[in-house]
Amino acid sequence: MRRDEAGAAGQPLHLTVPRTEGRARAINRGLARFRDLGLVVAIAAVAITTAVRSPQFATAANLQRIMLDISLLLLVATGQTMVVLTRNIDLSVGSVLGLSGIVVGFMLKSHPDMAVPAILGLGAGLGLLAGAINGALVSWGRVPAVIATLGTLTVYRGLVFIFSGGQQVNPQDVPRQLLQVARPGQLGLPPMVLMALLVATAGWVVLRYTRTGRAMYAIGSNPDAARMRGLQAGRIVFLTYLISGALSGFAGVLYAARFATVNPASAGTGFELQVIAATVIGGTSILGGRGGIPGTFLGALLLGTIANALAVSGVSGFWQRAIEGAVILAAVAVDAVIRRQAARGVAGRA
């Protein structure tokens, strides 16, 4: 960075963005488009191959099932994308989802007439509280994000069993008005799918067009430079955890609507791995500062398509985890290549 010359004594000095930073951004955008195109090709290849082998894959009912499956993943991955952009991570999202689903599910036993917006708001509020704890530990407690959220993952999962007493929420406990959220609506898509797409779109707008979104990228790209520019890194990181927690809690209620049951032993267990996979596969760098919601959507869609293709083809579900792991490794390798190419491009034009 360089400082502009002050116009007169006593006037503040302003920081300007060097040309190399603008070049880096342009190169990164070009490489990101190339990566997104690769994801689209991969999704199409999986879909076409499976449709040829199993005609039931391409039916409207199955495509709707894929969208239902990825709606929860997309919701939570939208918040995770913001967290990872700031060079952090949230490993507690699966436990927050399970905790929200259990708490709201048991409350509905005694308040079955509760309105759907209130139910969804309650779930999001619980997630917001959990996210605030995560954010406080990372932002102001200076606890490494991996350690902090690994700890809260265990705490929140323990609360699931304490609150539920080991009992699950059964289908008869979930009111019909909430179940309708996961049923096809007037536009042919279930409302929960439309909610997920709306949240993802809002996340894209925030990251692309707002000062807060640009601050997330700046903090992840270069935390020291971001502080020199006067950005409140602690507040921004805290905000990303609030968003991640709220969306996880919101997804917990939709989980109950989707499956009409919430089992304390399985609800959200391991879900954080799928969320991180969708985020990383979608091109959000684990080192922060690069990525976005469109890529995360494509990553979630790829994982959902693969999982559904395996199920339709009769392949064991255990292969899904192995394939997810392989795809994550490939995504990390591609990210490393992209970083090297971007660095070479900037050096070559300097």
DSSP state of 3: E
Tokens of 289: 């500062």
Evaluate if residue 14 carries a pLDDT over 90. Answer: no
One-letter amino acid of 190: P
Show the CA angle centred on residue 125, arms to residues 186 and 216, nearest 5°: 90
Helices and strands of the chain, counted as H and E runs: 13, 2
Task: Count CA within 13 A, CB hemisphere, residue 344.
Answer: 7
| Predicted TM-score (pTM) of this structure | 0.85
pLDDT for 11: 41
- Whole-angstrom distance between the N-terminal and C-terminal Cα of the chain? 14
Tokens of 334: 């591609």
Neighbours of 173 (CB within 10 A): 18
One-letter amino acid of 177: Q
What would the pLDDT profile of 236-279 be if each residue is shown by its tens digit?
999 999 999 999 999 999 999 999 889 988 888 889 989 998 99
Helix (H) or strand (E) holding 16: strand 15-16
Radius of gyration (C-alpha) of the chain in whole angstroms: 21
What would the pLDDT profile of 126-181 be if each residue is shown by its tens digit?
999 999 999 999 999 999 999 999 999 999 999 999 988 888 988 888 888 899 99
What would the pLDDT profile of 174-225 be if each residue is shown by its tens digit?
888 899 998 887 677 889 999 999 999 999 999 999 999 999 999 998 887 8
How far is the C-alpha of 295 from the C-alpha of 247, rounded, in Å?
A: 18
CA-CA distances (angstroms) from residue 345 to 38, 58, 182, 291, 340? Answer: 21, 42, 47, 18, 9
DSSP state of 2: E
What would the pLDDT profile of 23-75 be if each residue is shown by its tens digit?
555 555 666 666 778 888 888 988 998 888 888 888 888 888 899 989 999 99
Tokens of 57: 């894959």
Give 137's contacts (C-beta < 8 A, 6+ positions apart): 143, 148, 151, 152
One-letter amino acid of 96: V
Tokens of 83: 């967290």
How far is the C-alpha of 257 from the C-alpha of 240, rounded, in Å?
A: 26
Question: Could you write out the DSSP letters of every residue in 162-219?
Answer: HHHTTPPBPGGGS-HHHHGGGS--TTSS-HHHHHHHHHHHHHHHHHHHSHHHHHHHHH
Tokens 């019909």, residue located: 176
How far is the C-alpha of 180 from the C-alpha of 41, rounded, in Å?
A: 34
Q: How big is the chain, counted in residues?
A: 350
- DSSP, collapsed to helix, strand or coil, labels residue 143 as coil
pLDDT for 126: 96
What interhelical angle do 60-85 and 191-209 show, nearest 10? 30
One-letter amino acid of 350: A
One-letter amino acid of 309: A
DSSP state of 141: S
